[in-house]
């Protein structure tokens, strides 16, 4: 798998997570980096993945991956 940069403007860090929005359910889904770039998703570095929040009234679903420190429950703190 090739490395991809973070989707945030002016951030050149390596992406480690993919963020997807489910508008019908008012939900933001943050999971491990997808194997390929998909339209309408955002690849995020560790710092931006940890700081991700959703608009008021939306929920953020964070998928945990076994053995990866990024998904050890500290996201969003």
Residues 19-68 pLDDT 10s = 999 999 999 999 999 998 888 999 999 999 999 988 899 999 998 764 55
Q: Look at residue 76 and tell me if it is in a domain.
A: no
Question: For the chain, how many structural domains are there in total?
Answer: 1
Q: Look at residue 46 and tell me if it is in a domain.
A: yes
Residue 66, H or E segment: none
- Contact call for residues 30 and 60 (beta carbons, < 8 A): yes
pLDDT at 71 over 80: no
Q: Look at residue 54 and tell me if it is in a domain.
A: yes
Q: What pLDDT does residue 46 have?
A: 93
Phi, psi (rounded to 5 degrees) for 15: -75, 140
Q: Look at residue 60 and tell me if it is in a domain.
A: yes
Q: Look at residue 24 and tell me if it is in a domain.
A: yes
Phi, psi (rounded to 5 degrees) for 22: -115, 90
Q: What pLDDT does residue 15 have?
A: 94
The position carrying tokens 């050890």 is 72
Q: Comparing C-alpha atoms, which of 11, 62, 54 is closest to residue 70?
A: 62
Range of the domain at 37: 17-66
What's this model's pTM, rounded to 2 decimal places?
0.77
Residue 8, H or E segment: none
């Amino acid at each position: 798998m090739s490395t991809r940069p973070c989707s945030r403007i002016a951030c050149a860090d390596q992406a480690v997570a993919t963020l997807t929005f489910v508008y019908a359910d008012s939900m933001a889904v943050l999971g491990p980096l997808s194997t390929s770039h998909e339209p309408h998703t955002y690849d995020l570095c560790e710092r931006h993945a940890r700081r991700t929040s959703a608009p008021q009234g939306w929920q953020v679903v964070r998928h945990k991956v076994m053995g990866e420190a990024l998904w050890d429950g500290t996201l969003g703190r």
